[in-house]
Amino acid sequence: MVAKPVPRKVLLAITSYSEKFYDDGAKTGLFWSEAAHPLRFFEEVGFEVDIVSETGKFGVDEHSISDQFLSTEELEQYKDKNSPINQKFKQIKRASDVNADDYGIFFAAGGHGTVFDFPKATSLLELASQIYANGGIVAAVCHGPVIFENLKDKETGEFLGKGKTLTGFTNLGEEQMGVQHILNRDNLKTCEQIFNEIGATYSPPPAPFDVYSVIDGRVVTGPNPASAYDTANSALKVFNSLEA
């Protein structure tokens, strides 16, 4: 039997969570560049991209839309409600309304909002699991990999990340951002904790905010905002190998 071609389409998964989180009262949510950069990358190389969250809604991490993380051009695009990228985000879909068979890549963007909803986002989890079962790729960057806490491999029934080498935002990075005490207070798990619990091998970047990504079969992970492009590019390399 000839294998069915993997669709050249990306499901860009983002968090639905958007509430006060930081000590300064700022909200968390989607870390903007971790969706914006992969979106731009995949569209430039000819993929269709759908933005999807568990509820069909989202909010932006208020710390992520500063000149610390975005270029002047990116800030202008973010602030322009009619910019192409904002028009794209207005078309966000609810996870229960899309079909896994339409996608070849599941790409989970980060932001601390994900630690609240990704591990229990049943529709997103089902989509990621089915895309992988169909021969597609599961990729995640920064805090996006917390989705592996409850993500299962349909073929084995085991955790999809079990026995795999993964990366994600570091515990040291949580300390440097001054949020580890908030995670502890709310009983929220870090990427490192989750990887240990599911039997994955953690591969940290050389430093918390260095560009880095890890490929293990059809699973691709990155550890921080600076790695969003690199993680998307690594996912593309794996996708191209499927077509070879």
Query: Which candidate in 34, 62, 74, 174 is catalytic?
Result: 174
In the chain, the amino acid numbered 230 is D
Query: Which candidate in 143, 149, 191, 192 is catalytic?
Result: 143
Active site residue 143: yes
Helix, coil or strand: residue 150: coil
Active site residue 37: no
Question: CA–CA separation, 179 vs 170, rounded Å?
Answer: 12
Identify whether the C-beta of residue 14 lies closer than 8 Å to the C-beta of residue 91. no
Active site residue 191: no
Residue 1 CB-density burial (10 A; 0-12 exposed, 13-18 middle, 19+ buried):
exposed
Q: How far is CA 59 from CA 19, 69, 130, 149, in A?
A: 8, 17, 26, 23
- Closest to 235 in 3D by CA, of 156, 227, 58: 227
β-partners of residue 156 are none
Question: CA–CA separation, 221 vs 72, rounded Å?
Answer: 27
Give catalytic residues, as residue numbers.
Answer: 142-143, 174
